[in-house]
């Protein structure tokens, strides 16, 4: 059944916000969201050179749902894409056929896609590594796909534990992927910017050896060494006689 169902596309993200998102780490965005929206378990299998040093790739999600071992819907997504889109694909967990490889990566690069994220297998790892298109996948498989459908464009999907709606902000780097609902993108990026600014000071203090680390001891309300309670309040920890 080669039916492709196309839903209305999601809202457009502000271009300036996307540029700001490219300057923050996926981990910082994840921290602002208390890990909500974290797509965990997908590997960067190609295009690492396409991720700027010290930055991220960011853009609106173009969501795709495909059946196992079939990439007709992904081909449709390429044709429907706009420059800067990040194509995000949900496929069944039992899929063994790679739904993209070197040739589709070249097509996506030509279309100026920012990245492709597949919660399933891809192939041609050696060629993908040489390219500039970041490609994330669950694993690699040499088995090819069919092209008969069905499939869906712009549906709400779920990948690697994260819910994704068409038009949501995707922030990804060498560490991983964070999905931010479009309506919450401004607040999340503003929070990530504050985290990144704070970390500049922490990094400088760590290098200089001037960090105030008193919070480590203050954070524990009770300290036990062996069978002895050595602290039960907020006082500074001190070693007991004979303690190493």
Going residue by residue through the chain, which has 244 residues, state the pLDDT in tens, using 9 for 90 and above: 689 999 999 989 999 999 999 999 999 999 999 889 999 999 999 999 899 888 999 999 999 999 999 999 999 999 999 999 999 999 999 999 999 999 999 999 999 999 999 999 999 999 999 999 999 999 999 999 999 999 999 999 999 999 999 999 999 999 999 999 999 999 999 999 999 988 888 888 888 888 888 888 778 777 777 777 666 665 555 444 444 4
> What domains does the chain contain, in order, with CATH numbers?
4-197 (3.50.30.40)
What string of H, E and C letters represents the secondary structure of the chain? Answer: CCCEEECCCCCCCCHHHHHHHCCCCHHHHHHHCCCCCEECCCEEEECHHHCCCCCCEEEEEEEEECCCCECHHHHHHHHHCCCCCEEEEECCCCCCCCCCCHHHHHHHHHCCCCEEEEEEEECCHHHHHHCCCCEEEEEECCCCCECCCCEEECCCEEECCEEECCCCEEEECCCCEEEECHHHHHHHHHHHHHHHHHHHHHHHHHHHCCCCCHHHHHCCCCEEECCEEEECCCCCCCCCCCCC
């Amino acid at each position: 059944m080669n039916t492709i169902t196309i839903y209305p596309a999601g809202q457009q993200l502000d271009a300036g916000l996307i540029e700001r998102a490219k300057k923050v780490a996926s981990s910082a965005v994840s921290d602002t969201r208390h890990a909500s929206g974290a797509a965990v378990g997908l590997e960067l299998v190609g295009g690492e050179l396409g991720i700027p040093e010290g930055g991220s790739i960011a853009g609106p999600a173009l969501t795709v749902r495909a059946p196992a071992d079939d990439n007709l819907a992904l081909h449709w997504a390429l044709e429907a894409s706009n420059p800067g889109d990040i194509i995000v694909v949900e496929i069944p967990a039992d899929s063994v056929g790679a739904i993209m490889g070197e040739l589709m990566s070249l097509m996506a690069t030509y279309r100026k896609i920012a990245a492709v994220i597949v919660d399933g297998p891809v192939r041609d790892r050696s060629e993908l590594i040489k390219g500039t298109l970041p490609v994330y996948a669950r694993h690699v498989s040499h088995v090819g796909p069919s092209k008969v459908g069905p499939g869906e464009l712009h549906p709400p999907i779920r990948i690697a534990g994260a819910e994704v709606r068409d038009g949501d902000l995707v922030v990804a780097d060498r560490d991983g992927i964070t999905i931010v609902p479009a309506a919450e993108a401004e607040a999340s990026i503003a929070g990530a910017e504050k985290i990144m600014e704070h970390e500049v000071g922490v990094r400088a203090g760590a290098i200089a050896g001037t960090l105030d680390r008193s919070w480590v001891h203050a954070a524990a309300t009770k300290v036990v060494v062996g069978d002895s309670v050595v602290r039960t309040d907020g006082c500074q920890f001190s070693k007991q006689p004979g303690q190493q």
